[in-house]
Amino acid sequence: MEGFTQTTFHDQDRQWPVFRSGTGPGVLIIHEIPGITPQVASFAQRVAQAGFSVMLPSLFGTPGKPYSNGYMGAQMVRACISREFHVLARHHASPITEALRAMARALHQETGAAVGAVGMCLTGNFALTLMIDPFLMAPVLSQPSLPFGITASHRAALHISPEHLRAAQGRGCPVLGLRFSHDLACPKARFDALRAAFGQQFESIEIDSSPGNPHGISRMAHAVLTKDLVDQDGHPTRAALQRVIGFLQERLQAGSGVHA
């Protein structure tokens, strides 16, 4: 985890390793399965270099450990049996979101400014629940994958309670979402539900991963900002990364006109 300072975040009787980098408005980056891989750490550093104070908690896995199919499978099983993650919940969020709200609140108190949150995959929808706090001004949902899409209603669900969804809708805050067009883990129905819930406040980036697409993106592509990022000019994943950073800058940095 080169380039980060490690601390520990305490919330009630629980604690998590947290990695910090950068200065400026706070951005909470919530990693994907299987953990803080080198690609996740690289994304966090890109955000820090763009002028943000990044908080990257380790919720599962081994920080810095490279991705592998075996590592992915083991951490997926762990998440499925964990009390902190409710992977099939359609109408309430995973309990871990309460600790993440506390982390976002700590960032807000530390910086005295609005904060952002970027969730990915298993944690992709968590920023919706964090939106119930008025200081969360820049929610980013990258390939939100909960609840697991075992039925049509699961595929269209947003992993948030009805009352919290109403609170998030009432904020009038823009929401940015990213997915690959043929990603079964983050189905089209979920983005349709986000559009229905947030209307013009929902900005979606859906990258073509259909067979024969012009960039040769695999139909199995999933992790827009990390594992499946192609960091080359003209590639749609690079454009998506740049839009995420631009969204955070527009919403949080000086001159944005946005205040907590």
Q: Splitting the chain (260 residues) into consecutive groups of 10 residues, what average pLDDT does each group show?
A: 95 91 97 97 98 97 96 94 93 95 97 96 96 97 97 97 97 97 98 98 98 97 98 97 98 77
Residue 171 lies inside a defined structural domain of this protein: yes
Residue 258 lies inside a defined structural domain of this protein: no
- Give the residues across from 10 on adjacent strands: 15
Q: How many CB atoms lie within 10 A of CB 181?
A: 15
Residue 120 belongs to domain spanning: 5-252
pTM for the full predicted model = 0.96
Residue 10 lies inside a defined structural domain of this protein: yes
Residue 257 lies inside a defined structural domain of this protein: no
With both helix axes pointing from N to C terminus, report the angle between 236-252 and 38-49 in degrees, rounded to the nearest 10: 50
CA pair distance 30, 59, nearest whole angstrom: 8
Residue 135 lies inside a defined structural domain of this protein: yes
**What pLDDT was estimated at residue 98?**
95
Residue 205 lies inside a defined structural domain of this protein: yes
Residue 199 lies inside a defined structural domain of this protein: yes
Report CA 156 to chain centroid distance, whole Å: 18
Quote the number of domains for the chain. Answer: 1
Residue 88 lies inside a defined structural domain of this protein: yes
CA pair distance 231, 162, nearest whole angstrom: 38
**What pLDDT was estimated at residue 14?**
87
Q: What is the CATH number of the domain that holds 30?
A: 3.40.50.1820
**What pLDDT was estimated at residue 255?**
67
Closest CA to 116 of 102, 131, 129: 131
User: Are 54 and 48 spatial neighbours (Cβ–Cβ below 8 Å)?
Assistant: yes
**What pLDDT was estimated at residue 257?**
65
